[in-house]
Amino acid sequence: MVKVEVLTSEVVVPAEDTPAGSIWLSNLDLAARRGYTPTVYFFRSNGVPGFFAADVVKDSLAKALVAFYPLAGRLGIDCAGRVQVDCTGEGAVFVTARSAHYTLDDLMSEFVPCREMRDLFVPPTPAPNPPCTLLFVQVTYLRCGGVVLGQAMHHSVCDARGAALFFETWASICRGDAAAGAPVAPCFDHGLLAARPGPARAVTYDHPEYKPEAEPVDAVAASDYASAIITMTKVQVAALKARCPGASTFRAVVALVWQCACRARALPPDAETRLYSMIDMRARLDPPLPPGYFGNAVVRTSVSATAGEVVSEPLGQNARRAIAVTSQGGDYARSLVDYLEGVDAMNLPRSGISRAHLRAISWVGMSLYKADFGWGAPAFMGPALMYYSGFVYVMNAAGKDGDLALVLSLEPESLPEFRKVFAEELARLEVV
C-alpha cells in the first residue's frame, strides 16, 4: 500500500477570542448521520513560490475559525442527555504530509472514493461521539508539486451547503479577499428549526425514511462496494434534459442512473426499488432560513416503483418520479421536525440500504468545487469515501464549465455492467 508521510500534526485555534457557551442542535441535526464527512480537493501546482505554504493555510484556517467558531468546539451533551456543540475554542486538527509516490496526474486517473484513499489524504478521526473534535484538515504535498487538501467535518454540525459556506470563507481569507469574516455571515440559530409548541405540533405527512426497518436480507456490508467517477459533458447533460421535460439537471441525471442501476443489478421486474434523496429546505421554509444558516437543513425523502417500471418506461417517467421525491415544501419539513420530536432522533436507523435501492445526493450548484485558496480552483473535488453500496453524488465537474461529475458506489459485481449500460445510454444521447 502506498504510504503518506505525516510531517506535522497540531491543533489550530481561532485567531481571536470567540463566544463561549453551547449551541443547541435541532432535530434535523440529531437525525443526520452521526459521523464525519470526508472530502478531498486536488490542486495543480502553478509554479508560484509559496504554493499552499503550510503557515499561510494554517493562519487562514485560524481566521476562518473566528467566524465559524462552533467548528473549533467539541461535540457535547446537555444536562438532559441531548447532543449539542460546546463552543470551547479548543480548535481543529491540522496535519501536513507528503507523498513521494503520487503525482496529481496519477490521482486524477486512479482516484475513486474508498477507504484506502480516505486513509491516505484525510486525517484519522475518533469515534464521532461526545466529546470529539469537529474538524480535521490535512495538506498533502505530492511528488509533482501539487497538493491534496483533505478534510473531515462532523455531520451533526452542518450539511453540505453549510460546509460549502465554510470553505468559501476559508478560501477567501487565504487568498486575501477578506481580512476576516465571511462572504455570507454564518447563522448558528438552530432554534429556527425547532419543533412547534405542543398544541401547534402537527405531523401531517408520513416519514418512512426515518422509521426503523427490518435489516434487508440482501444488504451489503458497508465496506463491500466498488466506486467510480463518471463525467458527463455539457452536451450530454443538455441532451438528457431534453428527454426529461420539466426536470432539473439533478432529477434528469438521477432518472438515468436509477434506470441503469436496475439494469446492472438484473433486478426481477416485480422487485421493489426505492429512490432515496435529500432536499435542502433553506429556501422552502416560510420564512426561509438565512442564507448563511450553518446546520443541517436537509430532509430525507423517497419514492418507489418496480424495477420493471423503472427499466421499461420512458426516461421522462423516471424523471417525474424524481421530481415527486424532491418537490416537498416547507410544510413537509415542519411536519418532519415535529415527528422527530416524538422519537429518539439521536438513535435513528442509519444503516445501508437494500441492493435494490439507490440514495442520490445533489451537490450541483454548490461552491465546493470552486474553492480557490489563492492558487487557482481545484482540478478535482469530491467525497473521499462512500458509505455503502447504492450511494450517488451528482456534482459540478471542477474546472469544466457545464460538465457534471457522477460519483457512485455499487456492488462490486454490478459496477462493471453499470459502466457499460450507462456509457451506451450516453452514446445514444450524443446521436439523438
Q: Where in the chain is the domain with CATH 3.30.559.10?
A: 5-193, 216-431
pTM for this one? Answer: 0.93
* Per-residue model confidence (pLDDT) at position 152: 97
Q: Three-class SS of residue 374?
A: coil
Cell numbers standing for residue 163: 460546509
5-193 is classed CATH 3.30.559.10 = yes
216-431 is classed CATH 3.30.559.10 = yes
Residue 180 has pLDDT above 50, yes or no: no
* Per-residue model confidence (pLDDT) at position 432: 54
Burial call 263-301: b when 16+ CB within 10 Å, e when fewer:
bbbebeeebebbbbbbbbbbebbeeebeebbbbbbbbbb
Give 218's DSSP letter.
Answer: T
User: Using one digit for the tens of pLDDT, what is the confidence trace for 368-405?
Assistant: 778 899 999 999 999 999 989 999 999 998 877 789 99
User: Using one digit for the tens of pLDDT, what is the confidence trace for 6-46?
Assistant: 999 999 999 999 999 999 999 999 998 889 999 999 999 97
Catalytic residues: 155, 372
Q: What are phi and psi of 256, to 5 degrees?
A: -70, -40
Q: What are phi and psi of 31, to 5 degrees?
A: -80, -15
* Per-residue model confidence (pLDDT) at position 367: 80
Q: How far is residue 117's CA from residue 114's CA, in Å, rounded to a whole number?
A: 6
> Residue 165 in contact with residue 181, Cβ under 8 Å?
no
User: Using one digit for the tens of pLDDT, what is the confidence trace for 121-178?
Assistant: 999 999 999 999 999 999 999 999 999 999 999 999 999 999 999 999 999 999 988 5
Beta 358-362 vs 272-280: how paired, if at all? parallel
pLDDT bucket at 208, cuts 50 / 70 / 90: confident
Q: What percent of the chain has pLDDT over 70?
A: 94
Q: How far is residue 311's CA from residue 256's CA, in Å, rounded to a whole number?
A: 10
Please tell me the chain's helix, strand, coil percentages from 3-state DSSP, rounded to the nearest 5: 30, 25, 45
* Per-residue model confidence (pLDDT) at position 217: 46
Q: How far is residue 57's CA from residue 61's CA, in Å, rounded to a whole number?
A: 6
Beta bridge partners of 41: 149, 381
Beta bridge partners of 154: 36
* Per-residue model confidence (pLDDT) at position 254: 95
| Plot region of 98 (φ>0 → left; ψ -120 to 50 → alpha; else → beta) | beta
